Structure 1
Amino acid sequence: MTTPTAETTTARFGRLEHRGILLGLGAAQLAVLTIAMVIAVAGVYSAGMGGLVAGAGLWVPLAVAATASVRGRPVIQWLPLIGQWRARRLLGQTTAATSTRPLPGLGVLRIPGIAGQLTVTEAPSSGAALIHDRRTGVVCAVLRVSGAGFVLQDPSAQNGQVASWGRLLGSLCQQPAIVRLQVLHRSLPSGGSVRGWWANNAMAGAPWAARVLADLVADAESTGDHQQTLLAVALRPPHGRGQVLGPAGVATIEQHLGALVDGLKAAELHVDGWVTPDRLGSVLRASYDPDGAARAGDLGGTASLLGPMGVSEHWDHVRTDSAVHAVYWITQWPRSDVHPAFLQPLLLAPGTRRTFTLIAEPLPTAKALREIRRTKAEHAADAAQRARIGQVQDEAARAEDAELARREQDLIAGHGDLRFTGLVTVTATNTDDLAAACAATEAAAAQAMCEIRRLVGQQGQAHATGALPLARGPL
């Protein structure tokens, strides 16, 4: 007699929503298309077909800009992106250099891609570094976490962990103080501490053996890497935006942080401790200078909250101290049943340095229901207009309607709704290696049944959002 084995729970995601007021066109597209039609009709009424042809130089580009798409984005949305990029280049805002002079005051942090400055204070009970952004009115704390080999466990244990993680995410929707949660998984070069120990303790041995082992350790430094998982949570302080974080606010925030730690432990995750202010600088620096972090090893805490020494943003990549980076946005998650570990090709592929970021923003139930019903009304109006002009509703629209109905049923049943954003940051030492790493990343995304799109014109902001554990909002 054989004992039946449990089947692993599968995951499936909905399509990316494409909202539109009429026939899939947004407000800006409809406005530009209306202007094009007015110009064309005015030309016909004023001079007949000759006026229509004469005004084609105006209404044809407007019509194309309103209806055409390039790389999945309407042309009308490319214009402000290109304009902002050129304006920032003219104003010199695409490059930044850090002064070697000390910053005025302790606990001040400036990061390229983030407007204003961040203040860092220490929580008295947990020791966590509380990163306060007065401009956005949120406080962020970073936690080191680790797992126990999810892919190696049996299906029943995997199902239990998936259910526990789902309950943790669902509980976020019941806590208004939590603005967003960021899970950051990155691969970093390792070997610096090994080589440092060997140079300081073992180079006094036999010359021949020392040279051989030194070469082996140097090779291990250049090829080895280790995985690191950080969890950043952004909270809304009790006194609102722009206020100084006082003792009462810190105490309230620590209560939420303690509840989050309890939830993570219930989800069978190992909590390795909060990132303290003296460790925050090294955690952030690893995103800008991975080679320097590997050479330095773990040198302990530092009182310096240093960002990058220099940043140069380009159209499709960003260059920092010792690396170049390219940020991808996950536009489509798997739309068929997949194993919960479907991201394994992206996360654990050897030889490529990647940083994967998942941002989860809990939505209040009332707000989520309003968005769903507004979208359903837009779909209904769009379907009626298509039927009026004789167009047949495609299967993609039916799939979106089914996904909206499922989400509404879940909300009515008491479940929470979260908005997810996925970013993948690819890191290399130069642009040639970056091109090869990007090709490997695109292939790995295809294996994970995800569709990714390389962001352009906003790589600096995307890097600050996707590569830094600061729980920033999506782009």
Structure 2
Amino acid sequence: MVSHAKESAPGELVPVKFSRLTRRGVLLGLSVAQLITLGIGGLTLIAAFYAGGGMLLAYTAPIWVLSAALTWIPVGGRPVVEWLPVAFWWLWQVTGGQLLYRRRIVKPRPAGTLALPGDMARLREYSDPETGACMIHDPHAATLTVVCEVTHPAFVLLDPGEQERRVTTWGRALATVCRSGRIATLQVLERTLPDSGTGLVEWWATHGTPDGSWAADTYAELIERAGPAGERHATTISLSLDMKAAARQIRTAGGGIKGAAGVLRQEMSTLTSALRSADLAPSEWLDAGQIAVILRSAYDPAVASALERHGKIGRDLATAGPVAVTETWGNLRTDSAHHAVLWVSEWPRSLVYPGFTAPILLSTGIQRAVSLIYTPMRSDRAARDIRRKKVEYISDAAQRSRLGQIEDAAQTAGFQDVLQQEADLTAGHGVLRVTALISVSAPTVDELEAAVAAITQAAIQSSCETRRLVGQQAAAFTAAALPLCRSV
């Protein structure tokens, strides 16, 4: 995803336009799966025709008619043939009992592991002795992830000049991620949480006068009994080191997980400086207890406020995971909530101003988490990808010209997006692939569907299009609601 800015006077807010989602095919816009099914149907039809036609065409009709239907009939915006891998994977999970997770409370988990379902059971925790940060190691993906919390002023309340300055400095912060070549993923997670009332408790501890009087005792009791009165927003930034790309530096730093931690500390320092230059206030890198609270709150939202009010409860990663998880085709059920994950499939196609996502981020009364997953691309890989796209567009245009087809506006706009990306890369800018996911949670299914409808409407107001991810809700939830730099 690339944004293009429009020229404006200094101090004015600059509108931007996002490039379209690439939907390129191998030939004439058809994917490999479509070409295979179309080829099977075409070969069957040709063989029947040359073998005698007549009744053979009728006998083979189910094959070539089914192939044509699988190739061109759309379901949910995608051809039927592209749903077949999803359907087969879902059936494999159903027959293998992979849709249910129940924690084994009698059998203890190995030390240093996270009590999470699915492939996240392989994750390991490592406490960095120098920074005190908890680093999450994925031995299969060869990544090492660290998390920090970030505070910032309300963007929509700033004046246009200040908004433009912050957008520019945030772009520079993202550019630092592309330069080292050792970062696998950067994740920005913004989530809503029930206000636990800890602010009142902290204010009373600082400004109150507990002198034993009736007024002081009554006020302290009211604060203690006060439950969640609203909601608050929390933002975290997760940084994941690609241990394969940084193998040489890791060996230089001593090798193993300790060497990887030393390399990651360098990236942490660079990112912290970039965030402060962007007028963001990063906290200390989170320790195991703070990450455990985030994980537990995501799976069990009912206890989120209690965990924050009582600072010593639920701060063990060995018990931070869910007790039970049940996945269905379009939903996910965990301890105390139902969840659904939406994918932002289309960004605004017209010029919009920064802050266009305000309807989504400022929606009230809905418990949700918005996750932006940035995957940096090396310059050589990005250049090859852009050249491949250019060749596909040019060859498809030549093929359509030979067939007498007319070039439509969407194909022209897509080609212009590729040319703009090439110009930006030539100018020295980095390339980031961005995936946006929205996780919506509610106590009941009916409340969940109402919340999903509200978020979908808010996305429309933001000029975005969202699609509900089906057949992969468990994996999507871990990517959207957990600050672990997971992918779908």
Alignment of 1:151-300 (within 5 A): 151-191=156-196, 193=198, 217-218=226-227, 221=228, 224-237=230-243, 238-239=246-247, 245-300=256-311
Aligned length: 461
Alignment of 1:95-134 (within 5 A): 95-101=100-106, 103-134=108-139
SS state at 1:173 partner = helix
Instruction: Give, in whole Å, the separation in 2 of the partners of 1:129 and 1:41.
Output: 63
1:314 aligns with 2:328: yes
SS state at 1:464 partner = helix
Instruction: Give, in whole Å, the separation in 1 of the partners of 2:90 and 2:76.
Output: 18
Distance 1:213 1:116, change over 3 A: closer
1:84 aligns with 2:97: no
SS state at 1:96 partner = strand
Q: Is the 8 A contact 1:189 1:224 kept in 2?
A: yes
Instruction: Give, in whole Å, the separation in 1 of the partners of 2:473 and 2:131.
Output: 34
SS state at 1:291 partner = helix
Distance 1:31 1:232, change over 3 A: same
Q: Which residue of 1 aligns with 2:480?
A: 466
Deviation at 1:292, TM superposition (A): 0.8
1:303 aligns with 2:316: yes
Distance 1:228 1:366, change over 3 A: same
Distance 1:284 1:270, change over 3 A: same
Deviation at 1:375, TM superposition (A): 1.0
RMSD: 2.6
Q: What is the letter of the counterpart of residue 29 of structure 1?
A: Q
Q: Is the 8 A contact 1:426 1:438 kept in 2?
A: yes
Percent identity, aligned pairs only, is 37
Alignment of 1:331-370 (within 5 A): 331-370=345-384
Deviates more, 1:149-158 or 1:187-196: 187-196
Q: Is the 8 A contact 2:201 2:223 kept in 1?
A: no
Instruction: Give, in whole Å, the separation in 2 of the partners of 1:56 and 1:192.
Output: 68
Instruction: Give, in whole Å, the separation in 2 of the partners of 1:347 and 1:176.
Output: 31
Q: Is the 8 A contact 1:112 1:460 kept in 2?
A: no
Deviation at 1:75, TM superposition (A): 1.2
Q: What is the letter of the counterpart of residue 40 of structure 1?
A: L
Which residues of structure 1 form unaligned runs of 5+? none
Q: TM-score, normalised by structure 1?
A: 0.91
Q: What is the letter of the counterpart of residue 231 of structure 2?
A: D
Deviation at 1:149, TM superposition (A): 1.9
Q: What is the letter of the counterpart of residue 117 of structure 2?
A: P
What per-residue deviation string (whole Å, max 9, x for no partner) do you get for residues 48-95 of structure 1? 243222211111111111222211222111011011111101111101
Q: Is the 8 A contact 2:383 2:422 kept in 1?
A: yes
Match of 2:151 among 128, 143, 146: 146
Q: Is the 8 A contact 1:128 1:274 kept in 2?
A: yes
Which residues of structure 2 form unaligned runs of 5+? 1-8, 205-209
Q: What is the letter of the counterpart of residue 303 of structure 1?
A: D
Distance 1:102 1:304, change over 3 A: farther
Deviation at 1:245, TM superposition (A): 3.7
Deviates more, 1:101-110 or 1:351-360: 101-110
Q: Which residue of 2 aligns with 1:386?
A: 400
What per-residue deviation string (whole Å, max 9, x for no partner) do you get for residues 3-57 of structure 1? x983212221011111111110011211110110011111112232432222111
Instruction: Give, in whole Å, the separation in 2 of the partners of 1:383 and 1:49.
Output: 37
Deviation at 1:115, TM superposition (A): 4.7
Q: What is the letter of the counterpart of residue 17 of structure 1?
A: T
Deviates more, 1:181-190 or 1:379-388: 379-388
Instruction: Give, in whole Å, the separation in 2 of the partners of 1:257 and 1:460.
Output: 29
Instruction: Give, in whole Å, the separation in 1 of the partners of 2:28 and 2:261.
Output: 50
Q: Is the 8 A contact 2:41 2:68 kept in 1?
A: yes
Instruction: Give, in whole Å, the separation in 2 of the partners of 1:247 and 1:21.
Output: 45
Distance 1:195 1:158, change over 3 A: closer
Q: Is the 8 A contact 1:110 1:117 kept in 2?
A: no
Q: Which residue of 2 aligns with 1:325?
A: 339
Instruction: Give, in whole Å, the separation in 2 of the partners of 1:398 and 1:355.
Output: 35
Instruction: Give, in whole Å, the separation in 2 of the partners of 1:342 and 1:408.
Output: 26
SS state at 1:125 partner = coil
Q: Is the 8 A contact 1:113 1:464 kept in 2?
A: no
Instruction: Give, in whole Å, the separation in 1 of the partners of 2:26 and 2:317.
Output: 51
Instruction: Give, in whole Å, the separation in 1 of the partners of 2:122 and 2:184.
Output: 20
Q: TM-score, normalised by structure 2?
A: 0.89
Q: What is the letter of the counterpart of residue 272 of structure 1?
A: S
SS state at 1:271 partner = strand
What per-residue deviation string (whole Å, max 9, x for no partner) do you get for residues 323-364 of structure 1? 110000000011111111011111111111110000111111
Deviation at 1:436, TM superposition (A): 0.4
1:422 aligns with 2:436: yes
Deviates more, 1:307-316 or 1:377-386: 377-386
1:434 aligns with 2:448: yes
Deviation at 1:192, TM superposition (A): 5.9
Instruction: Give, in whole Å, the separation in 1 of the partners of 2:107 and 2:262.
Output: 30
Instruction: Give, in whole Å, the separation in 2 of the partners of 1:205 and 1:388.
Output: 90
SS state at 1:159 partner = helix
Q: What is the letter of the counterpart of residue 69 of structure 1?
A: P
Q: Is the 8 A contact 1:279 1:300 kept in 2?
A: no
Distance 1:244 1:425, change over 3 A: farther
Q: Which residue of 1 aligns with 2:5?
A: none
Deviation at 1:376, TM superposition (A): 1.1
Q: Is the 8 A contact 1:308 1:320 kept in 2?
A: yes
Q: Which residue of 2 aligns with 1:375?
A: 389
SS state at 1:47 partner = coil
Instruction: Give, in whole Å, the separation in 2 of the partners of 1:412 and 1:5.
Output: 25
Q: What is the letter of the counterpart of residue 323 of structure 1?
A: A
SS state at 2:394 partner = helix
What per-residue deviation string (whole Å, max 9, x for no partner) do you get for residues 382-426 of structure 1? 111111111101100000000000000111111111101000011
